[in-house]
Amino acid sequence: MAGLRKILIVEDNEQLREIYATFLQANDFKIVVAIDGDEALDVAKKEHPDLIFLDIMLPKRDGFTLLKLLRHEPEYNCTKAKIVMLTNLGNWSKVSPEVHKDMDGYVVKAEIVLTDLLEIIASLK
Amino acid sequence: MNIRRQLTLLMLLIGLLPTLIVSTLAYATIRNSLTRKTADQLVSTTIKQEQKINGLLQKRQEDAVELANRFDLQSALGRYQSTNGKDGGDALATVLLDKKINSPEIQSVTLTDLKGTVIASTQSNSKGKQVSAQNYAIPEGQEIATTVREDGNDGIDRLYLTTKVSVNKKESARMSMVFRIDDIVAAVQDYTGLGATGETVVAEKDAQGNALTLFPLRFNTDAALKAQVNSLRLFEGNGTDAVERTDYRGNRVLVSSQPVGFANWVIATKIDQKEALAQTDPLRNTLFFIVGISSIALVVVALLFARFFTRPILRIARAAQLIGRGDFSIQTDFKRNDEIGMLAASINQMGLSLHDFVSRIEGERNRLELILNSITESVIAVDKDGIILIANQAAAELTQLDGHAIVGKHIAEVFNWLQKGQPFEVNYNKSGVLSDLEFTPVTGSLHYVKLIVSRVNGDAADSVAQTILTIHDETKSRELENMKVDFVSMAAHELRTPLAAVRGNLELISFKSGQELPAETAKFLKRALKSTAELGGLINNLLDVTRIERGTLRLTMEKVDLATEITHAVQETHFSAEDKQVTLSYSAPVAPAFVMADRIAIREVINNLIVNAIKYTKPLGHIEVALRHSENTYEVSVKDTGVGIPKEAQQHLFTKFYRVHGGLSSGSTGTGLGLFIAKSILERHHGAITVVSAEGQGSTFTFTLPMLSEENRAALKATEAALPTRRKRGWITKNTDR
């Protein structure tokens, strides 16, 4: 856990964004946030976070596009970062193999409790 | 030929034939007897004629013989011959002349020697002359030659008699006497009793054996025609009977012939048959008249009779014909008390019955058609060869074919069944229900149908419906179902974000200020969290159902220890059991129970069964969870001492949205989805779930899962070789070096 101190939360729903940020800050993580796709790229480039919680349904650029850019474009300084997708979709079988390869996990927002976030972070080396 | 003509002909035949036969026989008999009578008369006439001619000839021959035997002639001839003609010549001439003078019918008398040289004659200047052979020759074996010849001097026929003259019993000369034949001709031409056409003919045989007429004929004296008397075949007659011949004039005649004793002659009498039978003509005419009149009378009677009998029959036949063509309005309207009347009445009755019968059948058919067409399902009747016999309106609409176009076609021509896009062969000879069939009509889109094949019982004959197909078009309901599923799925998804927010906020409150909160607030907060958890579970259940419905429920199979999962579930639910004062027991086996399963899904199944058991068990009840195994399956049972499930509810228990109604469900919460999801999940694992329950005594839910097999193990090895992942309900991560 020592390696994953700075976390970027990309989430357009204000309440959820604040809930996750508040909870994780309370657990001694450094949190930066973005509310849409463009801002996410800017923040990532500037802050180069260790872990990104990336929502899929976002204004301007969707999560899958962001995943591809962040993972493969060095200019955003995030190719090595862990990226966990945030979603409410239940069916991941239709998602392309590239997405599966690029991401480090996914979270169904409605199905977790906040403490699960800590477990998720812990499960990522 | 219709019956009337046949009857008419038959009656004519019966009526006329006897008349004709009797008339003909009578006529023939009369004719024969008349012929007989004529023939007899002819024979007697002939005999009389023959005797008359014979008498005449006999007298002349006696004259000649008498002269030849006279002494004075013989003595004069003796002298003449002994003196070599010097003496006796005058005496001979005197004797001959004397004879001629005494007998006026004698034309001349000539005496010749045996060589034909005239010794003496009544004709002057003929002495010493040689006469022709016929004037002195006598045929061998005869004493006297009798001929009728034409005289060379005047061309008149005369009778020549040549006799032998003997001197001292030695034949010495020949004497030839020539007679006129007027009296013989008169006798021959005496036609008394022979009518207008009768004739008498005297003939002799010539050198060729043909008959040659000696005397003139009555109707024709021409020499050439006289020779043709041959055609009467006079020498063939037997002399006692008359025969029919055709004479030289071509008339049919009756002929009677007799040989004439004193010459080689034949005498024949003949009469035209026409004349002989003339008496029968009035009779014949009368008979013709009678036959003619009776024929006309018979024809009239036969026609009337036939008409009387056949008219009703023809009318009945006509009526029957019309009935046969389907015109039942016809009625035979005559009244008769005989069998024909009965027949007519029967035909009328039959027509009425048939009309009644046909209208009843038509009514039935119309009603059947009405019923069939009012059915929303397609109904099709098929015969044993698969030919469509009946198709209702719905079938026509489903197939997009004209109702008449379907009938008569083979079922395979009309329907090409698919199931999940693959061609599907339907066995029309086996009753059954085939769900989820797909069918695309000629024009239009794919239809989802349920096909019900019903075999018609009994020994159905040819061209009789053998199979009834009922096609229930489920396309609309399926579309509706899909829309429902889509709606539920969308609604559930939409609920998730606010739910996550509510829960997150509640969690933040409880984490941040748990210790600062008053006890009551903390209790409310806990309740709110519990409710959000329940709401989350409900939404998850709904989503699971939509996934099951769409066939998109994704399972991640891995090696799972059932014993461990049960332990986890028991631990998780332990508190709620305690809260309700229900004992929950589970004795885990020592050995692990490995199955191939989706860990999260199986854990939910077990959880669900235990939670349900707690829910329906009253305080102080018991719940016993057990894990057993048979040869190659594990069996997990959850037994409670709860309220139990009514028998009629048990079969619906595993269907969607089903909840037991009545008192049993009171106080309980639930979506009615849990058991449906459990059953679906277990079926995906090749497992099964059953329930045994008695109302008031409790229920036992039991599910089975196949043991991890060798082939599963091999598949697992490959999966385990892949990147290790962490997976829990709601999230999944994998470990990669970035």
Residues B685-708: pLDDT tens digits?
888 999 998 888 889 999 999 888
Whether A114 sits inside 8 A of B511 (CB atoms) is yes
Provide, as residue numbers in chain A, all residues whose Cβ is less than 8 Å from the Cβ of B572. none
> Does A14 reach chain B within 8 Å, measured CB to CB?
no
Nearest to B505 among A15, A84, A123 (CB): A15
Share of chain B above pLDDT 90, in %: 5
Q: For A68-118, how does the pLDDT look when each residue is reduced to its tens digit (9 = 90+)? A: 988 888 888 888 888 999 887 766 666 788 888 888 888 888 888 888 888
Name the nearest CA neighbour of A11 among A76, A64, A86, A100.
A86
Number of A/B CB contacts below 8 angstroms equals 95
Whether A105 sits inside 8 A of B540 (CB atoms) is no
Answer yes or no: are the C-beta atoms of B690 and B710 closer than 8 Å.
no
Beta bridge partners of A9: A33, A53
Which residues 551-570 of chain B have a CB within 8 Å of chain A?
552, 554
| DSSP symbols for B262-330 | TTTEEEEEEEEHHHHTTTHHHHHHHHHHHHHHHHHHHHHHHHHHHHHHHHHHHHHHHHHHHHHTT-TT-
Closest chain B residue by Cα to residue A87: B497
pLDDT for residue B514 is more than 60: no
B612 vs B703: CA distance, rounded Å = 15
Helices marked H in B581-696: 599-615, 647-650, 674-684
> Does B737 reach chain A within 8 Å, measured CB to CB?
yes
Provide, as residue numbers in chain B, all residues whose Cβ is less than 8 Å from the Cβ of A107. 730-731
Which is it for strands B170-180 and B157-167: parallel, antiparallel or unpaired?
A: antiparallel
pLDDT for residue B36 is more than 70: yes
B288 vs A17: CA distance, rounded Å = 141
Helix, strand, coil % over all residues of chain A, rounded to 5: 45, 20, 35
Supply the pTM of this predicted model. Answer: 0.51
pLDDT recorded at residue B310: 81
Residue A84 in 3-state DSSP? strand
HSE (CB half, 13 Å, CA atoms) of A7? 28
> Does B722 reach chain A within 8 Å, measured CB to CB?
no
> Does B491 reach chain A within 8 Å, measured CB to CB?
no
Provide, as residue numbers in chain B, all residues whose Cβ is less than 8 Å from the Cβ of A23. 504, 507-508, 511
Q: For B253-301, how does the pLDDT look when each residue is reduced to its tens digit (9 = 90+)? A: 888 888 887 667 888 888 888 888 888 888 888 888 988 888 888 888 8
Provide, as residue numbers in chain A, all residues whose Cβ is less than 8 Å from the Cβ of B738. 79-82, 104
pLDDT band at B675 (very low <50, low <70, confident <90, very high): confident
Chain B closest CA to A118's CA: distance in Å? 12
φ, ψ at B252 (rounded to 5°): -75, 130
Q: For B540-560, how does the pLDDT look when each residue is reduced to its tens digit (9 = 90+)? A: 888 888 888 888 777 778 888
pLDDT for residue B636 is more than 80: yes
Residue B538: its H or E element: helix B519-550
pLDDT recorded at residue B225: 65
Lowest pLDDT segment from A114-123, B5-14, B230-239, B481-490? B230-239
Answer yes or no: are the C-beta atoms of B389 and B376 closer than 8 Å.
no
Answer yes or no: are the C-beta atoms of B342 and B47 closer than 8 Å.
no
Q: What is the mean pLDDT of residues B500-515?
A: 80
Whether A91 sits inside 8 A of B735 (CB atoms) is no
Describe the strand order of the beta sheet including B622-629 as a list of residue ranges. Answer: B583-586, B622-629, B633-640, B698-706, B688-694
pLDDT for residue B668 is more than 50: no
Whether B732 sits inside 8 A of A105 (CB atoms) is yes
pLDDT for residue B724 is more than 70: no
φ, ψ at B158 (rounded to 5°): -140, 160
Q: What is the mean pLDDT of chain B?
A: 83
Provide, as residue numbers in chain B, all residues whose Cβ is less than 8 Å from the Cβ of A105. 726, 731-734
> Does B511 reach chain A within 8 Å, measured CB to CB?
yes
pLDDT for residue B501 is more than 50: yes
Highest-pLDDT range among B150-164, B411-425, B429-443, B598-612? B598-612
HSE (CB half, 13 Å, CA atoms) of B79? 12
Answer yes or no: are the C-beta atoms of B173 and B165 closer than 8 Å.
yes
B78's tokens: 């003796």
* Residues A92/A93/A99/A102 CA torsion (nearest 10 deg): 80
- Sort B101 into a burial class: Cβ within 10 Å, 0-12 / 13-18 / 19+: exposed
Whether B733 sits inside 8 A of A26 (CB atoms) is no
Which residues 97-136 of chain B have a CB within 8 Å of chain A?
none
Quickly count: other Cβ atoms within 10 Å of residue B272's Cβ.
19
Q: What is the mean pLDDT of residues B331-350?
A: 80
Residue B344: its H or E element: helix B339-374
Q: For B319-340, how does the pLDDT look when each residue is reduced to its tens digit (9 = 90+)? A: 888 888 878 776 777 777 888 8
The beta-carbon contacts of B133-136 under 8 Å, at least 24 apart in sequence, are B134/B160, B135/B110, B135/B160, B135/B162, B135/B176, B136/B112, B136/B162, B136/B174, B136/B176
Contact residues for B47 (Cβ-Cβ < 8 A; gap 6+):
B258
pLDDT recorded at residue B228: 66
Geometric angle at alpha carbon B572, from B566 and B575, rounded to 5°: 125
Residue B199 in 3-state DSSP? strand
Q: How many residues does chain B have?
A: 738
> Does A57 reach chain B within 8 Å, measured CB to CB?
no
> Does A59 reach chain B within 8 Å, measured CB to CB?
no
Provide, as residue numbers in chain B, all residues whose Cβ is less than 8 Å from the Cβ of A82. 738
pLDDT recorded at residue B224: 67
Chain A closest CA to B677's CA: distance in Å? 16
Lowest pLDDT segment from A28-32, B188-192, B360-364, B566-570? B188-192
Name the nearest CA neighbour of B302 among B538, B710, B13, B654.
B13
Answer yes or no: are the C-beta atoms of B209 and B189 closer than 8 Å.
no
Nearest to A93 among B554, B733, B736 (CB): B554
pLDDT for residue B137 is more than 50: yes
pLDDT for residue B44 is more than 80: yes
* Cα–Cα separations (whole angstroms), residue B640 to B582, B624, B627, B695, B710: 10, 6, 15, 12, 35
Whether A26 sits inside 8 A of B511 (CB atoms) is yes
Residue B144: its H or E element: strand B144-150
* Cα–Cα separations (whole angstroms), residue B587 to B348, B592, B636: 93, 13, 12
Quickly count: other Cβ atoms within 10 Å of residue B140's Cβ.
5
Interface test with B, best of A31, A70, A91 (most B CBs within 10 A): A91
pLDDT for residue B238 is more than 70: no
Closest chain A residue by Cα to residue B533: A111
Closest chain A residue by Cα to residue B495: A110
Helices marked H in B375-474: 393-399, 403-406, 411-414
Helices marked H in B616-709: 647-650, 674-684
pLDDT for residue B666 is more than 60: no
pLDDT recorded at residue B738: 65
Between A96 and B638, residue with greater pLDDT: B638
Closest chain A residue by Cα to residue B738: A80
Describe the strand order of the beta sheet including B725-728 as a list of residue ranges. Answer: A30-34, A6-10, A51-55, A82-87, A105-108, B731-734, B725-728
CATH of domain A6-123: 3.40.50.2300
Helix axes B519-550, B674-684, angle to 10 degrees: 50
Q: How many residues does chain A have?
A: 125
B468 vs B418: CA distance, rounded Å = 20
pLDDT recorded at residue B637: 92
Answer yes or no: are the C-beta atoms of B109 and B96 closer than 8 Å.
yes
Whether B552 sits inside 8 A of A93 (CB atoms) is yes
- The ipTM of this complex is 0.87
